[in-house]
């Protein structure tokens, strides 16, 4: 049987794909356990800018921490698509909506973070 494991994508392709979406998932550690939150983001250069709701447990867990961020576009019926994950340290941004992002939690005074794509990996999925 031929090996059809997911095809790894180049850093350049990963960044190009990151730029095509606006919704991803932030992975952080909360109370020593992994936790995940959908977030709106946009790509700026090789950084991901994202918005967290005021009062979210993710805010103190993200500030200064190494986090992962993932976005994908997968068709669960056709079993095709792609996924890109970055890992990097998150730095808080100062100012009123410096990332120009909408909120998934309706907050007005939210927190904004920049995550540098220190490590970036991606795969194209070709299922069966």
Contact flag: residue 16 with its own copies (CB under 8 A) = no
**In terms of C-beta density within 10 A (0-12 exposed, 13-18 middle, 19 or more buried), how is residue 63 classed?**
middle
Q: Which two tokens stand for residue 82?
A: 């792609």
Question: Which range binds its own copies by CB under 8 A, 9-17, 42-50, 80-88, 89-97?
Answer: 80-88
For its own copies, the binding residue among 47, 53, 62, 113 (CB under 8 A) is 53
For its own copies, the binding residue among 66, 89, 92, 116 (CB under 8 A) is 66
Question: Which range binds its own copies by CB under 8 A, 8-16, 42-50, 64-72, 90-98?
Answer: 64-72
The full DSSP string for 40-85 is EEEEETTEEEEEE-TT-THHHHHTT-EEEEEEEEEETTTTEEEEEE
Contact flag: residue 4 with its own copies (CB under 8 A) = yes
């Amino acid at each position: 049987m031929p090996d059809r494991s997911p095809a790894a994508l180049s850093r350049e392709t990963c960044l190009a794909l990151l730029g095509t979406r606006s919704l991803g998932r932030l992975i952080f550690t909360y109370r020593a356990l992994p936790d995940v939150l959908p977030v709106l983001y946009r790509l700026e250069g090789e950084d991901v800018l994202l918005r967290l709701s005021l009062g979210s447990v993710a805010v103190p867990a993200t500030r200064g921490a190494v986090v992962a961020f993932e976005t994908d576009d997968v068709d669960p019926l056709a079993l095709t698509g792609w996924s890109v994950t970055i890992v990097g340290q998150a730095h808080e941004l100062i100012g009123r909506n410096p990332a120009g992002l909408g909120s998934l939690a309706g907050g007005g005074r939210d927190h904004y973070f920049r995550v540098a794509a220190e490590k970036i990996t991606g795969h194209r999925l070709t299922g069966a």
